[in-house]
Amino acid sequence: MPDKITLLPDNIANQIAAGEVIQRPASAVKELLENAVDAGATAIKLIIADAGKSLIQVIDNGSGMSETDARMSFERHATSKIKNIEDLFHIRTMGFRGEALASIAAVAQVELKSKREEDETGIYIEVENSAVKKQEPIAAPVGTSIAMKNLFFNVPARRNFLKSNAAEMRHIVDEFTRVAMSFPEILFTLNANNQQLFHLEAGSLKQRIVQLLGNNYNAKLVAVKEDTDYMNIYGFVGKPETAKKTRGDQYFFVNNRFIKSPYLNHAVMSAYQEMIPKDSFPMYVLFIDLDPAVVDVNVHPTKQEIKFEDEKIIYAFVQAAVKHALAQFSVTPTLDFDLDASIQQLSSIQQPFTEERKSAAASGSIYKGFTQKHQAHFIEKTDRSELKHWKDFYESPETGVRSQESIQQPETHPTPHTLHLTPDSELTQLINTYITLPSSNGFLLIHQQAAHERVIYEQLKAASKDKPVATQRSMFPVTLEMAPADAAILEEIMTDLQQLGFTIEPFGKNTFVIQGTPADVEQGNEKHIIDILLEQYKHFSNEVKFSKREKLVRSLARQQAIKTGTRLTEREMRKLVNDLFACEQSNVSPDGNPTYLEFKQEQLEKMFGK
């Protein structure tokens, strides 16, 4: 019998290893961006074609590599970041396993250009299937450019496994966002299929958050900052009113590394308790810095999961820091700021953690933090009466039928005061266009579209006066290319649109990116909506008597209103009728047509010749 064991050739071993590190284009994006950060770059460009399936390129102005290092970098376990096991416990760089470039070179065609400041020429290397194809000196700027082409060209099974371009691109934007978020001092750009999706100037964390997550968070961010000897936390959380129905704008970084932690997420959520409706998600971008020795980032190969030496203390710390921040900015209603009893019992809170840290801990440490005034958990109770209960902000009238009093407004509405809409008033829809509603001695025939236009019009008017309409950030921003004339109009109404819930940003010549739409506009349809909106806006543009915003509000009302021919449920009819009669001027639509007609029994009898 011959012996059976053979050593796998390097390229196969690398391909297998690559499976863990590079699952999809976004994993390569993450690794390349992190390498650029580790190289000390101040400007990093990401270029994508075909959702990363044909090209992922990262260009940085970092340290660059020597000829030997450049060549070595593609070897498995080749790293400049650790030399021995001890280093692992002090690691401050993003990478250290020396696997990324080796993995990428095993599953793609890679072109590397690099030059160090001190070298006269740069180096160009082409690698494919883990083998160097070409190597030559070149002229290059200081820094490194790595282009990986045709990911998984030699592993068709994996290539077929990739999702649609839209899905893969979304993953790429997620990874880009995470890295860009944690290094606001670095300029980042993202270009996909020759369109610039992001251009993030270096700046403060706050600026970076707004650049990435949308302008609607501007002036809606509450700073979180607590320093102790054991760990520091800093960042921002959104004011309660910015909480969304979809999870999404939630970021935790530990030592600048993005992590997913349901446990810490829970800590933040619990800090918002009573301030936001159930099933809604506050925005947060929080950075925890602590001694790398007490964190094990090595648990998961893609390093999104993390183990803390003492999870509970971090939980308590995060929760308290967020509560503290929210309370300081008086955005909290009444809260019970006492630490959770079970957490109070924790030995780590009762006493300093180790003997060595004891003296340090007694002065200005987390120990003090948890026992003294002005620290995270210690917030004096505010007079309850000064603060509005959150329900006043969040409970909208749609949850209940309005009282009769609010429907009857005799001064402005001659008709509705004969109206007795009760929870069981019978509403009927006719030919999917009209709603009948009994009145004291007859009935009203309401035109659903005209009525809804009035309702939306008044809501938007109110919104454009003070509180802007809530924006929902698009999962994947849509790019719009416009005819020059339309582009000019859009440019002109952009700030007003922002107030009305549309976050649209100019993106070069006649091009715009829709970052967000009003929360109740269906996603995926943004382009169409803007097109219609512009059409309608042009329709009103002859009406010189209208202000820009008035035209816009009218266009939007017309666009968003329920159209004739739409079947309505009983609940929808009831809401519409309630909303209509809560309007300041319920009897006419914004363009002056009646919203309803009243038929009195005597009139009807006459018509029948009685």
Return d(Cα 151, Cα 128) in angstroms, integer.
11
* One residue of 30, 31, 287, 474 binding ligand ADP per CB under 6 A: 31
The smaller minimum CB distance to ligand ADP, of residues 100 and 306, is found at 100
Cβ 38 to Mg ion, closest distance in Å?
6
Helices (H) and strands (E) in the chain, counts: 21, 22
Based on CB atoms, which residue is closest to Mg ion, 35 or 348?
35
Specify the residue, 94 or 407, whose C-beta has the smaller distance to Mg ion: 94
Among ligand ADP, Mg ion, none, residue 81 binds (CB under 5-8 Å by kind): ligand ADP
Q: Which is nearer to ligand ADP, 81 or 548 (CB)?
A: 81
Residue 553 and residue 572: Cα distance in Å, rounded? 23
Question: In this chain, which stretch among 100-108, 213-221, 413-421, 525-533 interacts with Mg ion, using CB under 5 A?
Answer: 100-108
For residue 371, the one-letter residue type is: T
Binding region for Mg ion (CB under 5 A) out of 32-40, 255-263, 282-290, 557-565: 32-40
Of 95, 122, 282, 333, the one binding Mg ion (CB under 5 A) is 95
The binder of 315, among ligand ADP, Mg ion, none, by C-beta within 5 to 8 A per type, is none
Cα atoms in the Cβ-side hemisphere of radius 13 Å centred on 62: 24
Residues touching ligand ADP: how many (CB under 6 A)?
A: 24
Tell me which residues in 130-189 interact with ligand ADP (CB under 6 A).
Answer: 144
Indicate the residue among 97 and 548 with the shorter CB distance to ligand ADP.
97
Q: Give the integer Cα–Cα distance in Å for 140 and 151.
A: 25
* Closest distance of CB 288 from Mg ion, Å: 22
Q: Which two tokens stand for residue 32?
A: 């390349």
What CA–CA distance (Å, rounded) separates 332 from 388?
9
125 binds ligand ADP (CB under 6 A): no
The Cα–Cα gap between 466 and 140 comes to 53
517 binds ligand ADP (CB under 6 A): no
Residues 6+ apart with CB under 8 A from 22: 28, 31, 100, 103, 104, 107, 151
47 lies in the binding site for ligand ADP (CB under 6 A): no
Q: For the segment 219-278, give every residue that binds ligand ADP (CB under 6 A).
A: none
Q: How far, in Å, are 56, 170, 230, 529, 530 from residue 478 at the CA level? A: 21, 12, 43, 12, 11
CB of 75 to ligand ADP, least distance (A): 8
How would you classify the pairing of strands 187-192 and 43-49? parallel
DSSP 340: P
Q: Indicate the residue among 30 and 239 with the shorter CB distance to ligand ADP.
A: 30
55 binds Mg ion (CB under 5 A): no
Question: To the nearest whole angstrom, how small is the minimum distance from the Cβ of residue 303 to Mg ion?
Answer: 11
Closest CB to ligand ADP among 144 and 474?
A: 144
Piece of 75-83, 349-357, 384-392, 514-522 that binds ligand ADP (CB under 6 A):
75-83
- Strand ranges inside 118-265, DSSP E: 122-128, 131-138, 143-149, 187-192, 195-200, 221-227, 231-238, 250-254, 257-259
* Cα–chain center distance at 391: 25
75 burial level (CB within 10 Å; 0-12, 13-18, 19+): middle
CB of 551 to ligand ADP, least distance (A): 51
Interaction between residue 36 and ligand ADP (CB under 6 A): yes
**Are residues 148 and 6 in contact, defined by beta-carbon separation less than 8 angstroms?**
no
Whether 132 contacts 126, CB under 8 Å: yes
**Cβ contacts of residue 401 below 8 Å, gap of 6+?**
421, 422, 423, 574, 578
Instruction: Check residue 78 for interaction with ligand ADP (CB under 6 A).
Output: yes
Closer to Mg ion by Cβ: residue 95 or 352? 95
As to burial, measured by CB atoms within 10 angstroms (0-12 exposed, 13-18 middle, 19+ buried), residue 5 is exposed
Instruction: Using CB under 6 A, pick the residue from 62, 214, 333, 352 that binds ligand ADP.
Output: 62
Residue 570 burial class via C-beta count within 10 angstroms: exposed 0-12, middle 13-18, buried 19 and up: exposed
Per CB under 6 A, which of residues 318..357 are in contact with ligand ADP? none
Q: Which residue sits closest to Mg ion, CB atoms considered?
A: 95
Examine residue 598 and tell whether it contacts ligand ADP (CB under 6 A): no
Does 79 sit near ligand ADP (CB under 6 A)? Answer: yes
Angle at 443 between CA 440 and CA 444, to 5 degrees: 120
Query: Which of 15, 27, 35, 319 is the binder for Mg ion (CB under 5 A)?
Result: 35
Nearest CA to 25 out of 137, 170, 129, 157 is that of 170
- For the bound state, the minimum distance from the C-beta of residue 171 to Mg ion, rounded and expressed in Å, comes to 18
Integer Cα distance of 532 and 490 in angstroms = 12
- Which of 14, 25, 28, 60 binds ligand ADP (CB under 6 A)? It is 60
Of these partners, ligand ADP, Mg ion, none, which one is at the site of residue 578 (CB under 5 to 8 Å by kind)? none
CA dihedral of 266, 270, 272, 277, whole degrees rounded to 10: 90
Residue 22 contacts Mg ion per CB under 5 A? no
Residue among 21, 39, 100, 460 that touches Mg ion (CB under 5 A): 100
| Number of residues assigned to the chain | 610
Pairwise CA distance, residues 114 & 116, whole Å:
7
- CB of 228 within 8 A of CB of 316? no
Per CB under 6 A, 81 contacts ligand ADP: yes
Task: Give the binding range for Mg ion (CB under 5 A) out of 95-103, 130-138, 565-573, 601-609.
Answer: 95-103
* Per CB under 5 A, 184 contacts Mg ion: no
Q: Which residue is nearest to ligand ADP (CB)?
A: 95
Counting contacts by CB under 5 A, is residue 348 touching Mg ion?
no
Q: Which is nearer to Mg ion, 95 or 282 (CB)?
A: 95
> Which of ligand ADP, Mg ion, none is residue 464 near (CB under 5 to 8 Å by kind)?
none
Q: Which residues bind ligand ADP (CB under 6 A)?
A: 31, 35-36, 38-39, 60, 62-65, 73, 78-81, 95-102, 144
Binding site for Mg ion (CB under 5 A): 35, 95, 100
